[in-house]
Amino acid sequence: MSGTTLDDYTDRYAGRMRGMTVSEVRALFAMASRPEIVSLAGGSPFVSALPLDEIADLTAALIRDRGAEALQYGTGQGDLRLRELVCEVMAVEGVIGSAEDVVITVGSQQGLDLIAHLFLDPGDVVLAEGPSYVGALGTFAAAEAEVVHVPMDASGLIPTSLDETLRRLAAEGRRVKFLYTVPNFQNPTGVTLTESRRDAVVELAEKYDLLIIEDNPYGLLGFEEGPGQALRARSSDRVIYLGSCSKMFGAGLRTGWVLAPPAVREKLVLVNESQVLSPAMLTQMIASEYLGKYPWREQLKVFREIYRERRDVMLDALSATMPSGITWTHPRGGFFVWATVGDGLDTKAMQPRALAHKVAYVPGIGFYADGMGRQNMRLCFSSASPDRIREGIRRLATVIEEETELRQVFNTPSAVRRGPHGGPASRTSFAPGPELA
Amino acid sequence: MSGTTLDDYTDRYAGRMRGMTVSEVRALFAMASRPEIVSLAGGSPFVSALPLDEIADLTAALIRDRGAEALQYGTGQGDLRLRELVCEVMAVEGVIGSAEDVVITVGSQQGLDLIAHLFLDPGDVVLAEGPSYVGALGTFAAAEAEVVHVPMDASGLIPTSLDETLRRLAAEGRRVKFLYTVPNFQNPTGVTLTESRRDAVVELAEKYDLLIIEDNPYGLLGFEEGPGQALRARSSDRVIYLGSCSKMFGAGLRTGWVLAPPAVREKLVLVNESQVLSPAMLTQMIASEYLGKYPWREQLKVFREIYRERRDVMLDALSATMPSGITWTHPRGGFFVWATVGDGLDTKAMQPRALAHKVAYVPGIGFYADGMGRQNMRLCFSSASPDRIREGIRRLATVIEEETELRQVFNTPSAVRRGPHGGPASRTSFAPGPELA
């Protein structure tokens, strides 16, 4: 009966909202977008390299000739023509899928959210690489699932660790709903799962009756060799595959897809309709025109060349400027390098100094559900120009040197707000923010 | 350890999926889309009346000049320019809102889903008009909430009934999370809430500390007089307002918005990011170009004139052909007429006969969460041509006459599969299907 104030909605929220707070990296991105700051933080594709005139022309023709279809409601499963075309895209990585089993989504992120809605009850266990994509962690946390990380190294997810984790959880009587993995040029590490480990992971899935969510936005962006065989190419009934137009075409279309076994696909369509009725016909048809009429394989070569050069620039700059004790991954594709600064430093605590030196990265803690990652940072090479990357890494080296010196003086790691066991002070659901895509 | 078969996913699904089954109206729509059938079932805007050449031109210019922005990730709250422009749209109905408090969504449907995620725990009570929009019922059911219908008449939701319902639920100790209402040219009835009742509903919201979700896709499509004052124009802290470009511009853009109090808006942005990272920049910027540069108010006049003529044709045809005992609403705007066939008939059971006579409608049962609506049907006048509407109503009259004759012979209503108390045999979550938008 009392008047409503700004805080009066609190007790109306659903229980699942309790843990959902603003990601700490959000404020970072507001800072990082200032022009004077070299941002190695974002994960944006370099869409300026797209053939904008051609896309403008094909879009205009589409609206003129089939506007009454493009501006109308579609179906919850998505446009059939686009579903056929993404099957051609997946075939490049050995995936034989039928358009019947594809569901178009509002970017891969919505694909993840549909899967979370379909499979996850509160308290369910999800396995994911440690570290893992922050947007997936956010969606699993929104579903109140518990993410258990499986260690990875320079060859990707470690099968023996996966085996151990599955055995331990089974012994504890805990049901693992699925393994979430980004096998190619992973976000955030840039690491790719080797072919032999792919075989081993699929074998473990058979052994433990495990479902795998294979998220593959970067698979066609390899710099050194052609794409490997997808996990989905190895198993059609244990793997649900997520693809995306965001990195191969344009993120602003918000067009992704899920390839799933028929029973799962049917449910995904229901949830999709409940969430959005249908994905936008306009952007689906633009994607179809692009994939059907434009030489997209040639455009991928353009992207790969741009990103390869930037990767080289970043790795060279790291080698040239970083103090000893700092290590980093050597990605063979994708957008990201993952750096490790050593025990004495805390990348989150170091962030203000980095911003003062006009460089931004993403602290590693955002990519773990368990408070790990304080000695890591994600460095993105896809969006800044080579000169800006060089300058950014130079500034970052200075930041690390200053921070190291300070820590040596005080002889203490710079970690802040640790919980009683060295973990984070509280469990936080990360809402990812589009900047982390 | 066993191999996975097609059915092996069942025990992996989340508990919330148990009640989610394919809507029975889905099969209907597959039938209804055949060209020989006059469909009065869909709820699609007549987008062929849009200025497709102009939209093609402004879209092409947008991609050419600002493609690197339009094809890139946006923010979870949505594009600022579009948020400013939809405030101008809302001002037509007396809503004074700030762009700061607008969240852009993937159509209003996603706005509903965000609200369900934010507010609804399993078992929560939501109030809605009886009947109500099937897509909202589906989303509330997906959130495992219980919808309690509040009766309406030709003047909309009945305030005394709302008062009684709120009092009863309070006495039962049941918390009502919100009232969901479509005050203008409601889907499915076409009925509009009178101004005096709007005052009464907002007063009751104050009295019972009630939150109102005002869903207003049709408000600017009134045929007789200018738009009324929105509920949100009467209360800014008790009302969350949902708007949409689907009926005033194009449904294929999947662009809607929510105007919410700041504390709620912040949470909605978090959930939006978790679901889709950001709405599509491309469709948002097309909507901005359209609302900012094209005379959209003039285009609304074009739409209103088309829909008004079709409404008149439908009402005239109903008067001319329907047997006695059949009644229907007289909408002053929007897309829908709601017909009542009387006790002897069941509109769901009658559907096969209607399809045999090559006419389709939506049985009323889809618009209730409690199994009511068997004597009702929704007739849509927005998408079929006047001649098709005339022919469809003529066929429908024949169907009703035949069905009435049959029922008189057998002296039994045609209802099928009733539960023990005359309700439906089981609680079913409707996935709405885009056709019902």
Give me the residue from A70, A208, A254 closest to B279, CB to CB.
A254
Interface residue A47 vs chain B (CB under 8 A): yes
Interface residue A386 vs chain B (CB under 8 A): no
Chain B contact set for A47 (CB, 8 A): 67-68, 71-72
pTM score, two decimals? 0.93
**A108 → chain B, closest CA residue:** B276
Distance CA A62, CA B47 (A): 14
Q: What pLDDT is attached to residue A418?
A: 40
Q: What pLDDT is attached to residue B25?
A: 59
Distance from CA of B343 to the nearest CA of A (A): 32
Give the tens place of pLDDT for each residue, B242-269: 999 999 999 999 999 999 999 999 999 9
Interface residue B11 vs chain A (CB under 8 A): no
Chain B contact set for A269 (CB, 8 A): 431
Give the tens place of pLDDT for each residue, B118-157: 999 999 999 999 999 999 999 999 999 999 999 999 999 9
Q: Are A130 and A150 in contact (CB under 8 A)?
A: yes
Interface residue B138 vs chain A (CB under 8 A): yes
Give me the residue from B52, B71, B251 closest to A67, CB to CB.
B52
Is A52 within 8 Å of B74 when comparing Cβ atoms?
A: no
Is A277 within 8 Å of B70 when comparing Cβ atoms?
A: no
Interface residue A195 vs chain B (CB under 8 A): no
Q: Are A414 and A346 in contact (CB under 8 A)?
A: yes
Q: What pLDDT is attached to residue A437?
A: 52
Q: What pLDDT is attached to residue A352?
A: 93
Chain A contact set for B63 (CB, 8 A): 52, 55-56, 59
Interface residue B50 vs chain A (CB under 8 A): yes
Q: What pLDDT is attached to residue A10?
A: 82
Interface residue A411 vs chain B (CB under 8 A): no
Q: What pLDDT is attached to residue B392?
A: 98
Chain A contact set for B69 (CB, 8 A): 252
Categorise residue A209: left if φ over 0, alpha if ψ from -120 to 50, beta otherwise: left
Distance from CA of B407 to the nearest CA of A (A): 35
ipTM over 0.90? The verdict is yes
**A45 → chain B, closest CA residue:** B72
Q: What pLDDT is attached to residue B432?
A: 44
Give me the residue from B57, B273, B432 closest to A432, CB to CB.
B273
Size of chain A, expressed as the number of residues it contains: 437
Interface residue A111 vs chain B (CB under 8 A): no
Q: Which domains does chain B have, with CATH numbers?
A: 15-43+298-408 (3.90.1150.10), 66-294 (3.40.640.10)
Q: What pLDDT is attached to residue A367?
A: 96
Q: Which amino acid is at B144?
A: E
Distance from CA of A235 to the nearest CA of B (A): 11
Give me the residue from A14, A113, A283 closest to B121, CB to CB.
A14
Q: What pLDDT is attached to residue B270?
A: 93
Give me the residue from B67, B72, B211 closest to A44, CB to CB.
B72
Tokens 């999370």 found at: B177
Q: What pLDDT is attached to residue B23?
A: 63
- B2 vs A214, more confident: A214
Question: Is pLDDT at B397 greater than 50 in this prediction?
Answer: yes
Interface residue A211 vs chain B (CB under 8 A): yes
Q: What pLDDT is attached to residue A155?
A: 97
Mean pLDDT, 10 residues at a time, over chain A (437 residues)?
55 86 66 88 95 98 98 96 98 97 98 97 97 95 96 97 98 96 98 98 97 98 93 97 97 98 95 95 98 97 98 98 96 98 92 96 95 97 97 98 88 48 37 48
Is A13 within 8 Å of B281 when comparing Cβ atoms?
A: no
Give the tens place of pLDDT for each residue, B330-367: 999 999 999 999 888 999 999 999 999 999 999 999 99
Query: Range with the lowest mean pLDDT among B224-228, B295-299, B373-377, B428-432?
Result: B428-432
Q: What pLDDT is attached to residue B433?
A: 47
Q: What pLDDT is attached to residue A27?
A: 66
Question: Is pLDDT at B401 greater than 50 in this prediction?
Answer: yes
Nearest to B346, CA basis, from B253, B261, B415, B274: B415
Distance from CA of A294 to the nearest CA of B (A): 16
Distance from CA of B86 to the nearest CA of A (A): 19
Give the residue-averaged pLDDT of B62-69.
98
Instruction: Report DSSP letters for B357-389, one per residue.
Output: TTEE-EEGGGG-SSS--TTEEEEE-SSS-HHHH
Percent of chain B with pLDDT over 70: 90
Is B56 within 8 Å of A57 when comparing Cβ atoms?
A: no
For A193, the token pair is 């799962």
For B275, the token pair is 């679901």
Give the residue-averaged pLDDT of B201-226.
96
Chain B contact set for A139 (CB, 8 A): 274-275
Is B282 within 8 Å of A253 when comparing Cβ atoms?
A: yes
Chain B contact set for A382 (CB, 8 A): none
Interface residue A132 vs chain B (CB under 8 A): no
Give me the residue from B8, B14, B433 closest to A273, CB to CB.
B433
Query: Could you tell me how many CB contacts below 8 A there are between chain A and chain B?
Result: 314
**B263 → chain A, closest CA residue:** A6
Distance CA B399, CA B336 (A): 20
Give me the residue from B12, B75, B279 closest to A177, CB to CB.
B12
**B63 → chain A, closest CA residue:** A56
Q: What pLDDT is attached to residue A33?
A: 79
Chain A contact set for B261 (CB, 8 A): 4, 6, 9
> Which DSSP helix (H) or strand (E) runs through B240?
strand B239-244
Give me the residue from A14, A50, A106 closest to B117, CB to CB.
A14
Give me the residue from A15, A64, A280 closest to B283, CB to CB.
A280
Is A138 within 8 Å of B61 when comparing Cβ atoms?
A: no
